[in-house]
Structure 1
Amino acid sequence: MPSRTLAPRREILGWAMFDFANSSYTLLIITVVFGDLFTRVIVGDGPEYRLGNLLWSLSLAFSYLLVVVISPVAGAIMDYRAAKKRFLFASYVLTVITTAGLYWAAPGWVWLAIMLLILSNLGFALGESFVASFLPDLGPPEDLGKISGFGWALGYVGGLVAAMFVLLVLGEVSAENFERIRWVGPWTALFFMLAAIPTFLWVRELASPRALPPGQTYIGLGLSRVSHTLRHLDRHRDLAWLLLSVFFSMAGIAIIITYAFIYGAQVIQWDEETRRLMFVLVQLTAAAGAFVFGLIQDWFGARRTYVLTLVLWIIAILLIYLTPQIAAQAHRWLGLDWQAQQVFLVVGCIAGASLGACQSSTRTLVGLFAPPSRSAELFGFWGLAMKLAGVFGLMGIGLLQTWLGLQQAMLLCALLFGIALLLAGRIDERRGREAAEAHEAGVDV
């Protein structure tokens, strides 16, 4: 297989700018603002908000299910037609339009909020997979960890920049402040639209399109290539083990991303000042974690880095569950006047450091294990694993919290990360890279 050279710095920056742009959606719509707004104001079934939490989970799970259906077939078509940028642009337009429309999701307009949430998250999640498929074209294998980590770190910086407007201008999530906080949708859409422009200007489509075989349709072609990949996953067994591990780890991360700030509001019962501080701390620690772990991935190994982040996640989840008890015991035994929300801030930093690093290391591993000629297709399977994980994790937490309450249900994450850790032990990074090189050289086809 010909060696891949490092792309120009401007192209790498252009690729990373999509992470910078789309992190505004993850942070403001899924994690911090709109999720809390949806459960406590738009649905508003207090005091425990179990119906709002369930509808939130079901909406996101359904959008991820749509991604599961679309992503692998779209990836196969993109590889064949050299259409990565066109598919990425379509997902970008869908995200921008429907996210702006969230402005109209007023209290009581639950079904409108659900429809717009499903469509905006569909566009966002597809774009996340589509942009990742450019990674193998940006440099040689030994540089992919740094490039992926840089993109994820820049993404958290983007999220922080986007969040500052909400913190300083839009204010708190409450029914009384609804007329201001409802602008979170249009603001996120505007930020995403402008910040992603460098991606479409500077990132190149390196592949050349091939003619469609006679009597074949693009959908049929995509389905046949997906079927071929599934039948021959035994030739890429390390990729298969990785995707299975990713399913469980990303199920846990989907829960954390979706419920962290809902948990802070409902279980920890933090005040507005603490919520704002968590905004900033999580973004800074996540950016630092993604960048630092990205630097060490190429030396320490992407698989080992992934394993380390899973261990950190298990510790973080147990601390999240025990936060109220830790604060109470610190007062009882040590005489320290710690509040639960203060302990939660520290735990949030541990989770933040693990967040970007875990996702970045899996993206790097897929880039190492994916032959360039099938990169969009195999990154489609990475997206499929993550979105199936989102369906599984959000359905699980949504149903469990209606039965046990949100604090008890959060322990599901520790179990999911534990299973992912066991499966990651089956991955051999060197063997996976050799399989990709053999495929590209025509040895196994």
Structure 2
Amino acid sequence: MPALISPPANSRARAAWALFDWAAQPWFTLVTTFIFAPYFAAALTGDPVRGQALWGYLQAGVAITVAFAAPWLGARMDRAGHLGPPVALASLAYVLGVAMLWFARPGEAGLILAMVAIFVAAIGVEFATIITNVLLPRLAGGNDVGRLSGSAWALGYAGGLISLGLVLALLAPVPGGERTLAGLIPLFGLDPGDGGPARATGPLSAIWYIVFVLPLFVFVPLKQKPAQGRPASVRDTIAILWSNRPLTRFLIARLFFQDALVAIFAFGGIYAAGLFGWTTFELGIFGILLAFAAGLGAWAGGFADDRLGPVPVIAGAILLAIAAIGLIATLGGEHARAGAVFASTAERLYLVAGIMLGIASGPMQAASRSLVARLAPVDHVGAAFGLLAFSGRATAFLGPLLVAVVTELAGSQRAGLVPIAALFGIGLVLLLFTVRINGGNGERR
């Protein structure tokens, strides 16, 4: 029996649940994509090629850990009487890890500290996401799961957009200047020479999360009726859900296209920093444009999801992402003249490609979440979302690893785009053999 059998929860609980995406988004926007990741590559290592390779190996380690732990965690959540304690524990790991990035100054000691802190924070935020996703079928009605998932994802991107704006307005000076975009001296005397603006994204993300995750604990009903029976092992979980053929086929397809999405966002800022020499300022502007596009795509994709079904939405998003990668591959390293921002044609086209990727990424992820909510058996919602995380991480080491290896062997950042495009293509082909869903009711095959 599908999990979407209960009436939707009250609007306050739904809004508090959606606010979790807002709370967690600075991790993905500021730290792992646009601000701290390029600082990691350019300053902590001093060599963009080595930095990109190390970042890839780090992301691969996170992916492998989450992939092995997620199915077990999801199965345990099905039999938990209260989801509050595990969410709080995962949140604590994230907050402590991301806050430690402030101490990651240039040099080998800072590099090691950053890698440990990023690993801990990534595990914490991934586990918290899995647990909160379990709540989606109970909070959404059968006819608007796509809108709730898409709106939450859009809210998350709005959080990323605002947090980026704060960094540019208050913390990061414009290139070649001493003042921020708002004309202010960077707060707290932050010095770009020791990575101050980039390092500050760590404690900023921690404080942001603490403030905005609180409504989840106050307004969302975290108590639940545990599923009957003993806690399922990973083998039991897979055996139970394997019989759900549409869900299984979709999760296999997602192994590939989500891996490609992780890779392109893990290296998007790093690629631009290496190709054009973009600083924190340019990368921040790029991130704002991309986050706005992603939020718009997720919001619109939620309505399309409930009207057309999630599979067509995901397929269209993948095609748009492949087109964006093709555009990036044609660009050379032409950089703007001194003192100008995005003055070269190549840089402007990179912005266009980034907007295309943003529009694609929102609905690709939000519709995946709504599809699992539609297909998950009522007693195995946690296990299904655990396997959703598994499908996004089991081979997620492959994308960053392939980018790292190809980049290092070829001595070229552009070469790293090839495995990303290939993974998107494989995922698209497999997706077309998964499941047809018309609105909230499933026509399964």
- Please confirm whether the aligned pair reaches a TM-score higher than 0.5, indicating the same fold: yes
* Counterpart amino acid of residue 221 in structure 2: R
* Counterpart amino acid of residue 97 in structure 2: T
CA gap 1:234/1:182 in 2 versus in 1, 3 angstroms:
closer
Judge which range, 87-96 or 176-185, deviates more: 176-185
Distance, in Å, in 1 between the alignment partners of 2:90 and 2:209 is: 12
CA gap 1:435/1:307 in 2 versus in 1, 3 angstroms:
closer
Tell me the equivalent position of 1:339.
Answer: 345
CA gap 1:413/1:366 in 2 versus in 1, 3 angstroms:
same
| Aligned residue-pair number | 416
Which aligned segments of 4 or more residues in structure 1 are displaced greater than 4 angstroms?
A: 172-175, 210-213, 430-437
* Counterpart amino acid of residue 302 in structure 2: G
Tell me the equivalent position of 2:16.
Answer: 14
Judge which range, 90-99 or 272-281, deviates more: 272-281
Tell me the equivalent position of 1:208.
Answer: 225
Tell me the equivalent position of 1:104.
Answer: 103
User: Cα distance, 1:379 vs. partner?
Assistant: 0.1
Q: Note if contact 1:236-1:436 (Cα within 8 Å) is conserved in structure 2.
A: no
Q: Does 1:54 align with 2:53?
A: yes
Distance, in Å, in 2 between the alignment partners of 1:17 and 1:411 is: 36
Tell me the equivalent position of 1:251.
Answer: 259
Alignment match of 2:396 (pick from 378, 390, 397): 390
User: Cα distance, 1:211 vs. partner?
Assistant: 8.1
User: Cα distance, 1:40 vs. partner?
Assistant: 0.8
For residues 278-293 of structure 1, the aligned pairs below 5 Å read 278-293=286-301
Distance, in Å, in 2 between the alignment partners of 1:73 and 1:222 is: 8
Q: Note if contact 1:171-1:177 (Cα within 8 Å) is conserved in structure 2.
A: no
User: Cα distance, 1:102 vs. partner?
Assistant: 0.9
String of CA shifts for 1:105-136, please: whole Å, max 9, x gaps: 11112211111111111111112222111111
String of CA shifts for 1:161-181, please: whole Å, max 9, x gaps: 111221112216986152343
Alignment match of 1:365 (pick from 366, 371, 386): 371
Tell me the equivalent position of 1:185.
Answer: 202
Tell me the equivalent position of 1:422.
Answer: 429
Tell me the equivalent position of 2:40.
Answer: 38
Tell me the equivalent position of 1:313.
Answer: 321
Tell me the equivalent position of 1:134.
Answer: 135
String of CA shifts for 1:27-48, please: whole Å, max 9, x gaps: 0110011111111111112xxx
String of CA shifts for 1:45-78, please: whole Å, max 9, x gaps: 2xxx222111111112112211122211111111
What's the TM-score, normalizing by structure 2? 0.88
CA gap 1:432/1:237 in 2 versus in 1, 3 angstroms:
farther
* Counterpart amino acid of residue 201 in structure 1: V
Percent of pairs with identical residues? 26
Alignment match of 1:237 (pick from 233, 240, 245): 245
User: Cα distance, 1:435 vs. partner?
Assistant: 8.8
Q: Note if contact 2:297-2:358 (Cα within 8 Å) is conserved in structure 1.
A: yes
User: Cα distance, 1:402 vs. partner?
Assistant: 0.5
Q: Note if contact 1:60-1:117 (Cα within 8 Å) is conserved in structure 2.
A: no
CA gap 1:362/1:211 in 2 versus in 1, 3 angstroms:
closer
Distance, in Å, in 2 between the alignment partners of 1:386 and 1:428 is: 18
CA gap 1:272/1:68 in 2 versus in 1, 3 angstroms:
closer
Tell me the equivalent position of 1:64.
Answer: 63
Judge which range, 70-79 or 282-291, deviates more: 70-79
CA gap 1:104/1:270 in 2 versus in 1, 3 angstroms:
closer
SS at match of 1:6: coil
User: Cα distance, 1:280 vs. partner?
Assistant: 1.6
SS at match of 1:411: helix
Q: Does 1:93 align with 2:92?
A: yes
Judge which range, 248-257 or 270-279, deviates more: 270-279
Distance, in Å, in 1 between the alignment partners of 2:307 and 2:438 is: 17
String of CA shifts for 1:302-349, please: whole Å, max 9, x gaps: 111111111111111111111339x89xxxxxxxx8521111111111
For residues 21-32 of structure 1, the aligned pairs below 5 Å read 21-32=23-34
Alignment match of 1:407 (pick from 411, 414, 436): 414
Tell me the equivalent position of 1:84.
Answer: 83
Q: Note if contact 1:67-1:387 (Cα within 8 Å) is conserved in structure 2.
A: yes
Q: Note if contact 1:149-1:293 (Cα within 8 Å) is conserved in structure 2.
A: yes
* Counterpart amino acid of residue 133 in structure 1: V
Tell me the equivalent position of 1:332.
Answer: none
Tell me the equivalent position of 1:277.
Answer: 285
SS at match of 2:408: helix
Q: Note if contact 2:307-2:439 (Cα within 8 Å) is conserved in structure 1.
A: no
Unaligned runs of 5+ in 1: 214-220, 329-336, 438-445
Distance, in Å, in 2 between the alignment partners of 1:199 and 1:29 is: 23
Q: Does 1:123 align with 2:131?
A: no
Q: Which of the two has greater helix per residue?
A: 1
Distance, in Å, in 2 between the alignment partners of 1:436 and 1:89 is: 38
What's the TM-score, normalizing by structure 1? 0.88
Distance, in Å, in 2 between the alignment partners of 1:204 and 1:76 is: 19
* Root mean square deviation, CA, Å: 2.4
Q: Does 1:198 align with 2:215?
A: yes
User: Cα distance, 1:85 vs. partner?
Assistant: 2.8
* Counterpart amino acid of residue 142 in structure 1: N
Q: Note if contact 1:94-1:120 (Cα within 8 Å) is conserved in structure 2.
A: yes
Distance, in Å, in 1 between the alignment partners of 2:226 and 2:241 is: 25
String of CA shifts for 1:397-430, please: whole Å, max 9, x gaps: 1111111221111122111111011101111234
Distance, in Å, in 2 between the alignment partners of 1:163 and 1:236 is: 41
Q: Note if contact 2:93-2:121 (Cα within 8 Å) is conserved in structure 1.
A: yes
User: Cα distance, 1:285 vs. partner?
Assistant: 0.7
* Counterpart amino acid of residue 384 in structure 2: L
